[in-house]
Amino acid sequence: MQELKNSLLELITDTSTNLPPDVRAAIREAKEKENAGTRSALALSTISNNIRMAEENVSPICQDTGMPTFHIHVPVGVNQMTITRAIREAIVEATRTGKLRPNSVDSLTGENSGDNLGEGVPVIHYEQWERDEIEVRLILKGGGCENKNIQYSLPCELEGLGRAGRDLDGIRKCILHSVHQAQGQGCSAGFIGVGIGGDRTTGYELAKKQLFRRADDTNPHPDLARLETYIMEKANELSIGTMGFGGNTTLLGCKIGSMHRIPASFYVSVAYNCWAFRRQGVTLDPKTGSITSWLYKEEPSQVKVREREPAAAAEGASGTREVVLTPPISEEAIRDLKVGDVVVLNGLIHTGRDALHKHLIDHDSPVDLQGSVIYHCGPVMLKDENGNWTVKAAGPTTSIREEPYQADIIGKFGIRAVIGKGGMGARTLAGLQEHGAVYLNAIGGAAQYYADCITGVEGVDFLEFGVPEAMWHLRVKNFAAIVTMDAHGNSLHRDVEKTALEKLAQFKEPVFR
Ligand SMILES: O=C(O)C[C@H](O)C(=O)O
Ligand code: SF4
């Protein structure tokens, strides 16, 4: 098995940097459905560029390279411990070369192991089979969409949909609700895997297993096939759209599996995966460990591929105002901004996410933040041989996690803009109004696109928090993001959620009897 580690490294690298054709086709279709000049069309254009850049640069599509999760089939007699050792070596190597972000954090001490290894990380499931080849499937599922997974215990009451009973119609309601509760926070448009039945653990496992199905397959079970088709149609009428900007595509794929349960329990478990759906697989020669085939490389047959770029997403949103700003930004410039404006930033910005926000509540900042821009981002960084840092990937992280801190931090330090994704809540909105600040929504997952806007790394503080959580001081050029919450009490996120809830309520009546 001398080739095993190299094969696994190739699999990890390809998974992180190159989306499979079925996922690309779903995104391409979504792009064709959006109207020219809309925010969703613009976001999908950025996403498509990002996918291309990641492949060309052989760099992570999204900076959050997620929880590496392997599903492996082995012929009888193959040593699983040899495979586990090779996976661990390949993971360390992929982290060292910037194909994976160091993502494994000790839950008690907060320490980042730095090499993506740790208790329970990576996740590896083995199963024996009677074929004489090894099959390795891998998903890199990021944290923002993982946080939007949801498990329902039937019967239950669902906002907008009323009672969900222990039958196919109750299941239908849970799945629709799961898409609504995710809004744009899991980097919609997303893919969902659904597990019906099992217990709390196996239900989620079944849901995640569905994510290994190709986006263009058909469920062999007629009821589940019907339900998948129904969900795809109705979830896309919720108008949540790409990144929760509103729009025609909210869901790119829905795959449902079912298993037995015990009489008292009836779970519907939903695994939500962002558009950056990094899934790949290989078969390996059990003697040499070399790759014999790739599992998700063929183009889907039923999706037509257009020759030229559709007019829809070609250029910037029509009628939007573009405002160029350089920090430190004045309160006046900020109060002039309205939801829908595109802000183009030049100059110095600072990253800060969970650890930094918690820290700043009762500590000083190492740099003056008056008039500054904070970027909710945990980048992939590499140090070169001269000790200089380079940015390998740098998209936004989900902002809502900072909701308990954000308004206070803005007030305490005089921050004028926060860049993130998915939007923030009522407390932050009030804080923006009170202190004169805005929330700027960047396109989640577009880590190559934003890394390209970073012209220099001017320093770093709190590296002891780990690479993703450190405070990186980044010089940017033409960094564009949309104002989705302004200093006048307006929030696009609040509006989209309200509309989506009204639309969800239209699906209250029974459909599957
Ligand atoms: O950790 C990150 O960089 C992002 C995360 O996947 C998120 O979606 O919030
Ligand atoms: S930032 Fe968005 S695209 Fe990246 S892993 Fe998180 S949810 Fe997925």
> CATH says 322-497 is which class?
alpha beta
Structure-token pair, residue 155: 């019967």
Taking CA atoms only, the protein residue closest to ligand 2 atom 5 is 142
Ligand 1 closest atom vs CA 142: 6
Taking CA atoms only, the protein residue closest to ligand 1 atom 8 is 144
Give the pLDDT score at 303. Answer: 52
Structure-token pair, residue 399: 């902002």
Tell me, in angstroms, the distance from the centre of ligand 2 to residue 203's CA.
23
> What are the residues whose beta carbons fall under 8 Å from the beta carbon of 269, sequence distance 6 or more?
149, 150, 151, 152, 194, 195, 198, 200, 203, 204, 206, 207
Tell me, in angstroms, the distance from the centre of ligand 1 to residue 283's CA.
30
Q: Is the CB of 420 under 6 A from ligand 1?
A: no
Q: Is the CB of 398 under 6 A from ligand 1?
A: yes
Q: Is the CB of 469 under 6 A from ligand 1?
A: no
Question: What's the complex ipTM?
Answer: 0.99
* Ligand 2 site, CB within 6 A: 62, 64, 66, 142, 144-145, 186-187, 274, 276, 395, 444-445
Give the pLDDT score at 301. Answer: 72
Give the pLDDT score at 513. Answer: 79
Residue type, 247: G
Cα–Cα distance, 467 to 96 (Å, whole number): 12
Q: Is the CB of 14 under 6 A from ligand 1?
A: no
Tell me, in angstroms, the distance from the centre of ligand 2 to residue 168's CA.
31
Note the ligand closest to the C-alpha atom of 101.
1
With vertex at residue 246, the alpha carbon angle to CA 240 and CA 248, rounded to the nearest 5 degrees, is: 80
Furthest C-alpha separation in the chain: 71
Q: Is the CB of 144 under 6 A from ligand 1?
A: yes
Give the pLDDT score at 318. Answer: 60
Write out the chain's pLDDT in tens, 513 residues: 899 999 999 999 999 999 999 999 999 999 999 998 899 999 999 999 999 999 999 999 999 999 999 999 999 999 999 999 999 999 999 999 999 999 999 999 999 999 999 999 999 999 999 999 999 999 999 999 999 999 999 999 999 999 999 999 999 999 999 999 999 999 999 999 999 999 999 999 999 999 999 999 999 999 999 999 999 999 999 999 999 999 999 999 999 999 999 999 999 999 999 999 999 999 999 999 999 999 999 988 765 544 434 444 334 556 789 999 999 999 999 999 999 999 999 999 999 999 999 999 999 999 999 999 999 999 999 999 999 999 999 999 999 999 999 999 999 999 999 999 999 999 999 999 999 999 999 999 999 999 999 999 999 999 999 999 999 999 999 999 999 999 999 999 999 999 999 999 999 999 997
Tell me, in angstroms, the distance from the centre of ligand 1 to residue 371's CA.
25
Q: Of 243, 397, 400, 401, which is best to mutate to test ligand 1, by the most ligand atoms within 8 angstroms of its C-beta?
A: 397
Cβ-contact 45, 314 below 8 angstroms: yes
Q: Is the CB of 347 under 6 A from ligand 1?
A: no
Cα–Cα distance, 243 to 423 (Å, whole number): 9
Note the ligand closest to the C-alpha atom of 60.
2
Taking CA atoms only, the protein residue closest to ligand 1 atom 7 is 144
Which H helix or E strand runs over 389? strand 389-393
> What are the residues whose beta carbons fall under 8 Å from the beta carbon of 345, sequence distance 6 or more?
324, 325, 326, 327, 373, 417, 419, 476, 478, 479, 480, 481
List the alpha helices (DSSP H) in 391-436. 403-413, 426-435
Q: Enumerate the domain spans of the chain.
A: 1-141+281-311, 143-273, 322-497
Distances (CA, A) of 16 to 63, 104, 214, 284, 402: 9, 16, 17, 19, 27
Tell me, in angstroms, the distance from the centre of ligand 1 to residue 377's CA.
8
Q: Of 62, 242, 380, which is best to mutate to test ligand 2, by the most ligand atoms within 8 angstroms of its C-beta?
A: 62
Question: 190-196 and 251-258 as β-strands: parallel, antiparallel, unpaired?
Answer: parallel
Tell me, in angstroms, the distance from the centre of ligand 2 to residue 421's CA.
10
| pTM greater than the 0.90 cutoff | yes
Ligand 2 closest atom vs CA 396: 1
Taking CA atoms only, the protein residue closest to ligand 2 atom 3 is 445
Cβ-contact 474, 322 below 8 angstroms: no
Give the pLDDT score at 302. Answer: 61
Tell me, in angstroms, the distance from the centre of ligand 2 to residue 27's CA.
15
Give the pLDDT score at 436. Answer: 98
Nearest to 269 by CA among 261, 278, 277, 280: 261
Tell me, in angstroms, the distance from the centre of ligand 2 to residue 396's CA.
8
